[in-house]
A and B are shown apart, each in its own frame.
Chain A
Amino acid sequence: MQERHDQIVSTPSPIHHLQLGIEIAGTLSLFSPIRIWHQSTDMGFPATTLIFAAIGIVASLCTVICFNRGSSSNLFHLTLVLTATICCWMMWAIVYLAQMKPLIVPILSEAE
């Protein structure tokens, strides 16, 4: 009984080590650190938000420079540009966030 126990609990042979190592390496390669980091933080969101902000700022500056007609008029144009930027960003952000961690996946229809 004890021998059996010994056999079961016996330390794996070097071949077993290798096999285990390959398995672990294989799974690790699938969930490599970069991939985990990439998927969990998804750098796309902050990056694109910054792009939207930059476009908004550039547009505001252009409006103030090109259509400069007094401070009250400038404020009005700035409001328009700002509102437009925020609306567009919100729309993009909503659609992006909804697809980040989806609960439903596409199920192709039969014909395809």
Chain B
Amino acid sequence: MGEVARGGGCCPPMDLFRSEPMQLVQLIIPIESAHRTVSYLGDLGLLQFKDVSNSKPFKIKRCGEMARKLRFFKEQMLKAGVSPKLSTTQVDVNIDNLEVKLSEIESELTEMNANGEKLQRSYNELVEYKLVLQKAGEFFHSAQSGAIEQQREYESRLLSGESMETPLLQDELSGDSSKQIKLGFLAGLVPREKSMTFERILFRATRGNVFLRQTAVEDPVTDPVSGEKTEKNVFVVFYAGEKVKAKILKICDAFSANRYPFAEELGKQAQMITEVSGKISELKTTIDTGLQHRVNLLDTIGVQFEQWNLLVRKEKSIHHTLNMLSLDVTKKCLVAEGWSPVFATKQIQDALQRAAVDSNSQVSAIFQVLHTKEMPPTYFRTNKFTSSYQGIIDSYGVAKYQEANPTVYTVVTFPFLFAVMFGDWGHGICLLLAALYFIIRERKLSSQKLDDITEMTFGGRYVILLMSLFSIYTGLIYNEFFSVPFELFGPSAYECRDLACSEATTIGLIKARRTYPFGVDPVWHGTRSELPFLNSLKMKMSILLGVAQMNLGIIMSFFNAIFFRNSVNIWFQFIPQMIFLNSLFGYLSLLIIVKWCTGSQADLYHVMIYMFLSPTDDLGENELFAGQKSYQLVLLLLAVVAVPWMLLPKPFILKKQHEARHGAESYAPLPSTEESLQVESNHDSHGHEEFEFSEIFVHQLIHTIEFVLGAVSNTASYLRLWALSLAHSELSSVFYEKVLLLAWGYYNNVIILIVGILVFIFATVGVLLVMETLSAFLHALRLHWVEFQNKFYEGDGYKFFPFSFSLLDEEDEVL
């Protein structure tokens, strides 16, 4: 493992078949060029840093602050309706200058906001004041005279002393009865919903000793305190006495009723109104200019926002990476360790060189390859076509370093197995159109932000393209166009037995011409014996395809064994596995083909079962070829021998190998103290492998049982190809016959026709194109993940995730 090229030699290299060879590198970077070096390496994006830090010298708080400021700007821009534009000019901004600039802008913006709020509040107050002046002025004098009337009445009642409605507290009216009645008044606004309660409480608190007059304001008024528009009433309250005034004031405050000074004289009222109107218009212009100023500022921010955003994020990631490096003893340079592909060596060295030159440092960074037993990350160089397939395989498990990658075959077999289950060239054409739509608008859609489902469909557009192409092919083979067969490739092979076709519905037709050259004969659709024929065909097809794919899987394990020079696996795993699978299920496939070629009536279930139950019995009428019985005996024997062959020798051989490797280990060398690389201490854990024989044996036992039982269960699992294909064709046939043809039958009624067509379209799209696609996709995926991959795939590696600015952009979009 490690970067020691363990492999190859047997076959020429193939793209994507195995992980790129990776190496562990150590970089020693002088401190002055550290920032620039990391930045250039981030642009390159081919190095995955390992965390070897012993302290955290770099503070990333600064970036956090700047990020917060940018978030604030974005909020403000959204509120004002300004959207950040993508600027084409590349202005190179220094990060320190940016920090200063951001704080400047932030303080300016906050100041503007505060001022704006203050002005707005004053404005609202003035508007309310004007309302009070206008409305209260209307009813003031009548209210005042009414109030004076009430007061006189009240006092006279008090003096006469006979009324039963005397208030409880009499000492409020301690004044002289001959005094001129002087009433105080208060004017203001109260929210309409609270006005009734306001009135009631006023009455209660003052023992009915006030006179309140309210009138409603038609439009909702913006409350200066809360800033919201509320319905309000203008009120004037007349009272007598200081204590009452205090109570009224408290009540007004409790009900958040705003009070305004009001003058009694009419002349003064008019004067106040004009004054207030003047102030209002002044304030309005001020507020408007203020807002305009703010919008301008936000616009200028908007132009540069994306750039700043990117810069801050880059800076944050650079600092994060710098924190992963360790400070050397001399405190003059940083040590970095990381994984990189071997092909990127030159590029990395170039980047280091450039960084040293650009930062004017005397020494350039040192690039060194380390030797280690640790398992490197797995890196596949994929393009936009293969990346979606690789993603599918990676979802199950990332390939171990340099083991065979199933993606190479999955690119074709996955759409193919999908198509076997989907087989209808009409539906295939619909899928093709959908895939082409996504591919043609690729560039535009990839820059947009799509919602989850569309994003997944868009990401898999090339998979869907291949799926649709293969579906068209299998649709032509199954001869189904929205379940309707066509005679495209020549005449049908079947015709009536006699001219009158009298026995067509009892005994059936007869095969009179050559076999229909491409696909299923069109005569079968709608016949009574269609299902028995198609079921037999599709089941046997599933077995044949399944055995082929499983054999491919075992052959992949052979390639792995050759690559890793593991001859134990070849002799004691690959060969017995091949023998076992093929002597049973390969033989079954052979019998199927022979039965088809000879047209024999042998019962294959019987043959296979009795091959096990009574192998020495005569086959009788189930005999397909001469010497079959002895052939079967030999195969059965081979299969039986293959099982202990898989199980027993490997653990013993491994044990012997381990003893040979670590035989003389009683004299292990002392760990040398001169090693300056702290690499040794980290990677020494794999030096002394423990060998537990019982563990190895149990592992091999489990593996053997899994394979032997899996041979039967996996082969049967492939029958889902038949099941889903049957379901699809039945659904399609039902929708066609029971919806479209039924509607067509009433051709003189246009409404029924239209409704029928609509129902057919919706059913086809919803059930067949969406649900069946997902279903067949899932099952094809399962066949790959389980039945194909468990023959050879280990999938316990980890993915190569380099430090790259382009990957960063995809990550946190939310800023």
Using a CB–CB cutoff of 8 Å, the interface residues on chain A facing chain B are 38-39, 42, 44, 48, 71-73, 75-76, 79-80, 83-84, 87-88, 90-92, 94-110, 112
Report whether A95 and B599 are in contact in the complex, using a CB–CB cutoff of 8 Å. Answer: no
A88→B521 CA distance, assembly (Å): 18
Report whether A72 and B13 are in contact in the complex, using a CB–CB cutoff of 8 Å. Answer: yes
Report whether B523 and A90 are in contact in the complex, using a CB–CB cutoff of 8 Å. Answer: no
Q: Which residue of B lies closest to A94 (CB)?
A: B541
Report whether B527 and A80 are in contact in the complex, using a CB–CB cutoff of 8 Å. Answer: no
Q: Indicate if B445 sits at the interface (CB-CB under 8 A).
A: no
A21→B548 CA distance, assembly (Å): 54
Which 10 A-B residue pairings sit nearest by Cβ, starting from the closest?
A: A101-B599, A107-B508, A76-B15, A105-B508, A83-B412, A106-B527, A97-B596, A75-B14, A108-B504, A107-B528
Report whether A106 and B598 are in contact in the complex, using a CB–CB cutoff of 8 Å. Answer: no
**Hey, what's the 0/1 contact readout for B405-444 against A, CB within 8 Å counting as 1?**
0001101110010001000000000000000000000000
Q: Indicate if B696 sits at the interface (CB-CB under 8 A).
A: no
> In the complex, how many residue pairs between chain A and chain B have their CB atoms under 8 Å apart?
138
Report whether B526 and A112 are in contact in the complex, using a CB–CB cutoff of 8 Å. Answer: yes
Report whether A90 and B477 are in contact in the complex, using a CB–CB cutoff of 8 Å. Answer: no
Report whether A72 and B14 are in contact in the complex, using a CB–CB cutoff of 8 Å. Answer: yes
CB distance from B425 to the nearest CB of A (A): 13
Report whether B599 and A100 are in contact in the complex, using a CB–CB cutoff of 8 Å. Answer: yes
**Hey, what's the 0/1 contact readout for B469-491 against A, CB within 8 Å counting as 1?**
00001100110000000000000
A to B CB contacts below 8 Å, 5 in the list: A83-B413, A99-B493, A100-B596, A106-B521, A107-B507
CB distance from B388 to the nearest CB of A (A): 15
Given contacts A42-B514, A107-B505, A108-B508, 19 further A-B contacts (CB under 8 A): A75-B12, A76-B16, A80-B408, A83-B409, A91-B477, A92-B518, A92-B519, A95-B477, A95-B478, A97-B593, A100-B597, A105-B507, A105-B508, A105-B510, A105-B529, A107-B529, A108-B528, A109-B505, A112-B526
Report whether B599 and A109 are in contact in the complex, using a CB–CB cutoff of 8 Å. Answer: no
Report whether B510 and A95 are in contact in the complex, using a CB–CB cutoff of 8 Å. Answer: no
A110→B526 CA distance, assembly (Å): 10
List the B side residues contacting A75 at CB < 8 Å.
Answer: 12-15
A90 and B544 in contact (CB under 8 A), knowing A99-B521, A107-B508, A108-B528? yes
A76→B390 CA distance, assembly (Å): 14
Q: Which residue of A lies closest to B12 (CB)?
A: A75
Within 8 Å by CB of A87, from B13, B416, B517, lies: B416
Report whether A107 and B504 are in contact in the complex, using a CB–CB cutoff of 8 Å. Answer: yes
Report whether B593 and A91 are in contact in the complex, using a CB–CB cutoff of 8 Å. Answer: no
Within 8 Å by CB of B530, from A91, A95, A106, lies: A106
CB distance from B8 to the nearest CB of A (A): 11
Q: Which residue of A lies closest to B524 (CB)?
A: A106
Q: Which residue of B lies closest to A111 (CB)?
A: B526
**Hey, what's the 0/1 contact readout for B620-631 against A, CB within 8 Å counting as 1?**
000000000000
User: Which of B15, B477, B548 lies at the interface centre, i.e. has the most chain A CB atoms within 10 A of its CB?
Assistant: B15
A80→B414 CA distance, assembly (Å): 12
CB distance from B815 to the nearest CB of A (A): 38
A38→B528 CA distance, assembly (Å): 29
Q: Which of the 9-residue segments B126-134, B240-248, B288-296, B531-539 touches chain A?
A: B531-539
Q: Indicate if B152 sits at the interface (CB-CB under 8 A).
A: no
Report whether A98 and B12 are in contact in the complex, using a CB–CB cutoff of 8 Å. Answer: no
Report whether A103 and B13 are in contact in the complex, using a CB–CB cutoff of 8 Å. Answer: no
A80→B508 CA distance, assembly (Å): 43
Q: Which residue of A lies closest to B490 (CB)?
A: A44
List the B side residues contacting A88 at CB < 8 Å.
Answer: 416, 473
Q: Which residue of B lies closest to A109 (CB)?
A: B528
Within 8 Å by CB of A91, from B15, B541, B601, lies: B541
A105→B527 CA distance, assembly (Å): 10
Q: Indicate if B509 sits at the interface (CB-CB under 8 A).
A: yes
Q: Indicate if B801 sits at the interface (CB-CB under 8 A).
A: no
Report whether B529 and A101 are in contact in the complex, using a CB–CB cutoff of 8 Å. Answer: no
List the B side residues contacting A48 at CB < 8 Å.
Answer: 517-518
A67→B478 CA distance, assembly (Å): 33
Within 8 Å by CB of B596, from A79, A98, A108, lies: A98
Q: Which residue of A lies closest to B596 (CB)?
A: A97
A106→B524 CA distance, assembly (Å): 6
List the A side residues contacting B474 at CB < 8 Å.
Answer: 91
Q: Indicate if B260 sits at the interface (CB-CB under 8 A).
A: no
Q: Tell me the chain B residues, 436-479 only, with Cβ under 8 Å from chain A.
A: 473-474, 477-478
